Structure 1
């Protein structure tokens, strides 16, 4: 069973989701005036605990429950209030909704690109999730054997020249790769973790919205590594 099935009956979960979604629907951008911070009923540490429990379920019993998807879809169609924001790689083997226990519609606010890089589009997406939707947790999640990271390692070690827009994308990871050259352990894995750490720090460093919410105790930013072989997520900081 999925994480939510172990905690709540489907009926009570849908009722809760509908209530929170309706409340979220009352919030709107108001032009030049920055909107008020959304108030989530879920605290950052509770959201983190949910992700950890969901991943444990995914590792030990990776099965999907028969969710009432039609009712679930209807309950969140007019509003959303996700309890975690996940920035992760576009790799087809990394699906946050599955990795964190088979969560339903409206629960995770997800941004994905090769190498889980924070650029202006991603940062704006994260700010929207935190401020407008009230998501109390941001997770930057790298993964083992990441192709974008492997390419950055080749650039750092062999000065490989990459084609097209791939070069600009990988260039954002190269500083993390250069910082890990010659260090003990697996080079690529070290860079996966360092890249996730740097992008988590970048979110807080470049976003006043995120910084304000963190200082208010309404938001937490962490980074993690997903293991393709075991399915386990290690929360690193």
Structure 2
């Protein structure tokens, strides 16, 4: 991916905790950023253009092309040139025969960060798995494994986001020693390793958002079945972050 400058943002991303010892290098070879910075806006595509291209749209066949497709989709989203692909009646009928998504996106449950919109994708394009704070459990792991091992998806993106409520709650609970009710304490326990006690205030939360993505990405990349595909060049597991202020997705690991 290109190394263009980051779009102007309402908040600066602070320094990140070092998790290099746990992060495998397979996905790192794909480049420094998930998406490029600002550039010429794509030409808007009307409904007729979208319909005519849906039937012949080629699926990305590998990690590199899958990343590029997500990059272009996010560029369209943040420049208000969405195409809303793969929503036509032709595609809906074709999907009756099966699905061939090209990327797994593990994202937060936050209603402001729906992957299909953020990446301007449509029916059958993404296998989305969502949990508060991108927290892993057996159901999440099994869902991701299904996408990779059964559907042969070449890319997994762990997508965190600015102002994540789950991470913020975990930081607050860790700071005050508060026990959250019901099953929410599970989220705190899983996010806690990403919290840097040396930081204070908003900086602690913001850094924890990024560190949590890197931690989850490292845990996924270390799963034996996924690691084997990474080593063979058949899979990339990358971390990314969505900035609410600019709608920009950028790679962080």
- TM-score class, shorter-chain normalisation, is 0.7 to 0.9
- Once residues 48 and 4 of structure 1 are traced to their aligned partners in structure 2, the CA distance between those partners, rounded to angstroms, is 21
Q: Which residue of 1 aligns with 2:3?
A: none
Q: Which residue of 2 aligns with 1:112?
A: 130
Q: Which runs of 4+ in 1 moved over 6 A?
A: 1-4
- Once residues 87 and 48 of structure 1 are traced to their aligned partners in structure 2, the CA distance between those partners, rounded to angstroms, is 14
Structure 2 unaligned spans of 5+: 1-40
Aligned: 1:167 with 2:185: yes
Tell me the CA shift for residue 3 of structure 1.
10
Q: Which residue of 2 aligns with 1:222?
A: 238
Contact 1:2 1:63 in 2 (8 A): no
Counterpart mapping for 1:204-215 below 5 A: 204-205=221-222, 207-215=223-231
Counterpart mapping for 1:69-108 below 5 A: 69-101=88-120, 103-108=121-126
Cα displacement string for residues 135-169 of structure 1 (whole angstroms, at most 9, x for unaligned residues): 11000011111111001101221112211111112
Report how many aligned residue pairs link the two structures: 210
Query: Pairwise CA RMSD of aligned residues?
Result: 2.6
Contact 1:155 1:174 in 2 (8 A): no
- Once residues 64 and 43 of structure 2 are traced to their aligned partners in structure 1, the CA distance between those partners, rounded to angstroms, is 16
Q: CA 1:2 to 1:64, structure 2 compared with 1: closer, same or farther past 3 Å?
A: farther
Structure 1 unaligned spans of 5+: 21-40
- Which structure has more relative contact order (CA 8 Å, sep 6+)? It is 2
Contact 1:224 1:234 in 2 (8 A): yes
Which of 138, 141, 145 is the aligned partner of 1:127? 145
Contact 2:50 2:83 in 1 (8 A): no
Scaled by the length of structure 1, the TM-score of the pair is: 0.80
Contact 2:161 2:243 in 1 (8 A): yes
Q: Which residue of 2 aligns with 1:189?
A: 206
- Once residues 105 and 50 of structure 1 are traced to their aligned partners in structure 2, the CA distance between those partners, rounded to angstroms, is 15
- Once residues 150 and 73 of structure 2 are traced to their aligned partners in structure 1, the CA distance between those partners, rounded to angstroms, is 25
- Once residues 218 and 149 of structure 2 are traced to their aligned partners in structure 1, the CA distance between those partners, rounded to angstroms, is 18
Tell me the CA shift for residue 78 of structure 1.
1.9
